[in-house]
Amino acid sequence: MDIDDLKTRILAGERRALARAITLVESGRADHRAEAVALSDALKGPVQEMGREALRIGLSGTPGVGKSTFIEAFGMMLTAQGLKVAVLAVDPSSARSGGSILGDKTRMERLSRDRNAFIRPSPSQSQLGGVARRTREAIDLCEAAGFDVILIETVGVGQSETMVAEMCDLFLLLLAPAGGDELQGVKRGIMEMADILLINKADGELKRQAIRTCADYAGALRLLRKRPQDPEGFPKALTVSAVEEDGLDKAWAEMTALADWRRETGHFAGRRAEQARYWFEAEVRDGLLARLRDGDARAAMASLAEQVEAGALSPSAAARQMLEEHLA
């Protein structure tokens, strides 16, 4: 593949080139991997020189809360303002089902026809580590292609939220109107990651309940420890209606206010720097674990484990031998 040509076309904002490059980063083939790394290296300089910086927004919420309805309405609002919007998805369940949350073509139909929008379904794969790398690289590619806003959607289960929060500038949690007792259903750790809670479905019969739920969450947020990366009043809870497209402009105003504040105070760049470090360390760890799964290393592990079990070697001595002789 002509990496230089692909680079030029991505920088020119060509969607087909972008789609092709994302396919490249999603590939598990070793030669594709080498090309993907070469491409991202080639893009780094020009992206910095051109000052391209997208606002990366993570969005999480349980199935049925209205994520795709929200992203479509919100995305259309942004493209109507002349912004270019990319939507990526991280779906941990796709590893099992082979499907994906954005795989269904009928989702976000209007947005997918929008010339200023780019929607990429979640790839199916087996390991969260692999998903993380591919998603991060896809985000970088969208940024290089000149997208202003990148929305990364994930379902509210397990580790995927932490992972998405570690690759975003802002993290949103979409919630449904609930009875008072149900608030506890949202794990504290997830609340602590969120910058803005959006209580969706604040329309029709659910409106009053949504307003009450929002007040309850706002109260819960006030009890959290203040984070240095937040101005006064954040994290914050707001009501929206994705269906009636109500409150979306207010939500966007809050997001941009928060992002602007973080840019001015250095927290925006600081967070990206911390994330880069985090992912570097994570990839080294993943790489080491992958080496452990190699045939030779696996055999050595098994043989040493037997000797430890038999009492011929101490666990420490065996571990040392493994690290020094088989993984160095």
Residue among 11 and 165 whose Cβ is closer to ligand GDP: 165
Residue among 64 and 82 whose Cβ is closer to ligand GDP: 64
* Residue in 10, 21, 65, 258 binding ligand GDP, rule: CB under 6 A: 65
In whole angstroms, the minimum distance from the beta carbon of 67 to ligand GDP comes to 3
For residue 266, give Cα distances in angstroms to 47, 194, 226, 271.
Answer: 20, 19, 17, 9
Cα separation, 196 vs 104, whole angstroms: 27
Cα separation, 97 vs 79, whole angstroms: 32
Burial of 64 (0-12, 13-18, 19+ CB in 10 A): exposed
Rule CB under 6 A: is residue 248 a binding residue for ligand GDP? no
Rule CB under 6 A: is residue 152 a binding residue for ligand GDP? no
Rule CB under 6 A: is residue 177 a binding residue for ligand GDP? no
Rule CB under 6 A: is residue 242 a binding residue for ligand GDP? yes
User: Is the separation of the CB atoms in 159 and 128 below 8 Å?
Assistant: yes
Site string (6-45) toward ligand GDP, x via CB under 6 A:
----------------------------------------
Site string (180-219) toward ligand GDP, x via CB under 6 A:
--------------------xx-xx-x-------------
Rule CB under 6 A: is residue 122 a binding residue for ligand GDP? no
User: Is the separation of the CB atoms in 214 and 200 below 8 Å?
Assistant: no
Q: Within 13 Å, how many C-alpha atoms sit on residue 244's CB side?
A: 12
DSSP states of 232-294:
TT-SEEEE-BTTTTBSHHHHHHHHHHHHHHHHHHTHHHHHHHHHHHHHHHHHHHHHHHHHHHS
Contacts of residue 35, Cβ cutoff 8 Å, sequence gap at least 6: 1, 3, 24
Residue among 70 and 268 whose Cβ is closer to ligand GDP: 70
Binding piece for ligand GDP, criterion CB under 6 A, among 48-56, 66-74, 82-90, 114-122? 66-74
Rule CB under 6 A: is residue 58 a binding residue for ligand GDP? no
Neighbours of 29 (CB within 10 A): 10
Residue among 195 and 203 whose Cβ is closer to ligand GDP: 203
Binding piece for ligand GDP, criterion CB under 6 A, among 23-31, 87-95, 212-220, 239-247? 239-247
**Closest C-alpha to 145, from 20, 265, 282:** 20
Q: Which residues bind ligand GDP (CB under 6 A)?
A: 61, 63-69, 200-201, 203-204, 206, 241-243
